[in-house]
């Protein structure tokens, strides 16, 4: 009555098993696992397991993915384990039948002492062997050391630029006070370069940055127009005014103050990352629009300086970034080079074209190159704070 249907049950099971066999057999033409690269240098570590021994071909490996190729030469089914300290299982393969090769890929990211174990008969504590993972993901201490190295290196960069800033500002102020307008104009852009390179640092000191670098368009009500841009207006537009010398003196005082304060500044790696990005934002909002140097049109000098400063911060972070995200570093290199290439095209003698000499197409090209660089730069902070 129901015999036929009853038989469908086992038949289907057998068919299922047969399908499994067939399918897997068809797949056999693929690359064998032994050839697949796993990032471990020197290929997989061979483990020869028998009923009484567990021979591991290497007892150290670099951190990362470690591949073991286990062959069971014994008569008993065996297991292979990789233990971290305290017998924490990092990885295991069970059911290694006699004659079988099995592969175990483990991710061992921490340097330290490990143990390999074969368990013939899948029982007991197994035949242990010591195993060492070297190098590897930086321990927090290493990361901290790298961050310290980065901030130290950037501090040197800042110190070099602030020293130059103080010296150049002194000369520029003297020219202004002596009424030498043409020479002061010539010194204006080249002095500002040192300021623009380290602008994120300057911004750390509350009122100093506005006093030195405020633009006329951004003045708050009742705020006095001082600093570089006030002198820029005097030199390029209105001619020197009676209070220009005082403004010049104040500028030098503020700059000296800034330089003194920057020596005591404790920056973090994250500050560097944010600063590198901040400088590019400055370019996008101020220099590409021509708003920064609205009287002198020397925006491209500032542009170059901002890019240099951003590069300086990234250069300091480079070892850390290289370790954590090498792909990001090469993207940054490429985009920096792209922006620099465009800047180089606008070079005139020792300087650059003035902003009002740029074509719309050139400005567009700058804008898109800066955007393309901003994108990877915005990822740096995340990588640094990992």
Helix (H, G, I), strand (E, B) or coil at 242: coil
Alpha-carbon distances, residue 191 vs 185, 196, 270 (angstroms): 10, 9, 28
Q: Note the helical H segments in the chain.
A: 3-27, 140-177, 181-197, 199-202, 208-213, 227-233, 244-263, 269-282, 299-324, 326-345, 360-384
- Residue 378, interface with other proteins (CB under 8 A)? no
How many residues bind other proteins (CB under 8 A)? The answer is 53
- 103 sits near other proteins (criterion: CB under 8 A): yes
Q: What angle do CA 381, 279, 318 make, to 5 degrees?
A: 45
Binding other proteins (rule: CB under 8 A), the pick from 4, 25, 221, 327 is: 25
**Residue 41 engages other proteins in binding (rule: CB under 8 A):** no
Kindly tell me which of 27 and 207 has the beta carbon lying closer to other proteins.
27
Q: Which is nearer to other proteins, 18 or 237 (CB)?
A: 18
Site map 59..78 versus other proteins, x via CB under 8 A: ------x---------xxx-
Rounded to the nearest whole angstrom, what is the least distance from the CB of residue 139 to other proteins in the complex? 20
Supply 210's token pair: 């506005």
Residue 89 as a binder of other proteins (CB under 8 A): the answer is yes
By beta-carbon proximity to other proteins, the closer residue of 53 and 148 is: 53
From CA 374, how far away is CA 206, in angstroms rounded?
A: 25
Spell out the residues 6+ positions from residue 315 whose beta carbon is closer than 8 angstroms to its own. 153, 157
CA angle 44, 49, 51 (to 5 degrees): 175
Which one of the spans 10-18, 48-56, 204-212, 343-351 is the region binding other proteins (CB under 8 A)?
10-18
Q: How far apart are CA 193 and CA 287, in angstroms?
A: 13
Q: Does 4 bind other proteins (CB under 8 A)?
A: no
Residues 106-145 that bind other proteins (CB under 8 A): 106-107, 121-124
Residue 175 CB contacts under 8 Å (≥ 6 apart), including other chains: 183, 184, 187
Nearer to other proteins, 108 or 377 (CB): 108
| Interface residue with other proteins, options 4, 88, 359, 361 (CB under 8 A) | 88
Smaller CB separation from other proteins, 94 or 130? 94
Closest separation between CB of residue 53 and other proteins, Å? Answer: 18
One character per residue 233-262, x = contact with other proteins (rule: CB under 8 A): ------------------------------
DSSP string across 139-181: PHHHHHHHHHHHHHHHHHHHHHHHHHHHHHHHHHHHHHHTT-H
Asked if 12 is part of the footprint of other proteins (rule: CB under 8 A), the reply reads yes
Closer residue to other proteins in complex, CB, 59/95: 95
Are 248 and 177 within 8 A, CB to CB?
yes
- Give the span between the Cα atoms of 227 and 348, in whole angstroms: 27
Nearer to other proteins, 96 or 208 (CB): 96
**Residue 57 Cα distances to 71, 106, 129, 326, angstroms:** 12, 16, 11, 31
User: What's the closest the beta carbon of residue 32 comes to other proteins, in angstroms?
Assistant: 5
13 binds other proteins (CB under 8 A): yes
What's the closest the beta carbon of residue 24 comes to other proteins, in angstroms?
5
The widest CA-to-CA distance across the chain, in whole angstroms, is 118
Contact call for residue 30 and other proteins (CB under 8 A): yes
Rounded Cα distance, 279 and 198, in Å: 9
Decide if residue 52 touches other proteins (CB under 8 A).
Answer: no
102 binds other proteins (CB under 8 A): yes
Cβ 211 to other proteins, closest distance in Å?
Answer: 56
Looking at the Cβ atoms of 115 and 378, the one nearer to other proteins is 115
Residue ranges that bind other proteins, judged by CB under 8 A: 2, 5-6, 8-10, 12-14, 16-17, 19-21, 23-25, 27-28, 30-34, 36-38, 65, 75-77, 87-92, 94-95, 97-103, 105-107, 121-124
């Amino acid at each position: 009555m129901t015999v036929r249907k009853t038989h469908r049950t086992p038949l289907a099971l057998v068919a299922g098993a047969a399908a499994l066999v067939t399918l897997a057999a068809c797949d056999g033409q693929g690359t064998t696992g032994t050839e697949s690269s796993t990032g471990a240098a020197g290929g997989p570590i061979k483990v020869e397991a028998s009923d009484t021994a567990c021979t591991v071909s290497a007892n150290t490996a670099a951190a990362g993915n470690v591949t073991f190729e286990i062959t069971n030469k014994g008569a008993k089914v065996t297991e292979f384990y990789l233990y971290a300290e305290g017998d924490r299982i990092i990885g295991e393969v069970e059911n290694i039948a006699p004659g079988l090769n099995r592969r175990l890929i483990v991710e061992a990211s921490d340097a330290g002492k490990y143990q390999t174990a074969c368990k013939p008969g899948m029982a007991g504590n197994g035949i242990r062997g010591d195993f060492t993972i070297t190098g590897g993901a930086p321990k927090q201490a290493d990361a901290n050391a790298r961050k310290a190295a980065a901030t130290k290196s950037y501090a040197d960069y800042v110190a070099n630029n602030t020293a130059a800033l103080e010296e150049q500002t002194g000369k520029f102020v003297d020219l202004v006070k002596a009424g030498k307008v043409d020479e002061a104009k010539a010194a204006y852009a080249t002095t500002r370069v040192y300021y623009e390179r380290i602008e994120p640092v300057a911004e750390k000191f509350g009122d100093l940055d506005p006093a030195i670098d405020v633009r006329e368009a951004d003045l708050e009500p009742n705020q006095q127009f001082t600093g570089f841009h006030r002198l820029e207006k005097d030199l390029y537009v209105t001619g020197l005014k009676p209070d220009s010398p005082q403004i010049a003196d104040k500028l030098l005082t503020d700059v000296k103050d800034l330089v003194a304060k920057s020596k005591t500044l404790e920056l973090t790696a994250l500050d560097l990352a944010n600063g590198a990005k901040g400088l590019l934002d400055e370019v996008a909002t101020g220099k590409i629009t021509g708003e920064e140097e609205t009287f002198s049109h020397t925006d491209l000098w500032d542009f170059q300086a901002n890019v240099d400063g951003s590069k300086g911060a990234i250069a300091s972070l480079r070892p850390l970034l290289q370790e954590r995200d090498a792909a990001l570093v090469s993207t940054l290199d490429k985009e920096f080079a792209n922006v620099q290439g465009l800047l180089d095209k606008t070079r005139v003698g020792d300087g650059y074209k003035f902003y009002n000499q740029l074509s719309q197409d050139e400005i567009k090209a700058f804008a898109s190159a800066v955007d393309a660089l901003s994108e990877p730069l915005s990822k740096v902070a995340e990588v640094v704070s990992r």
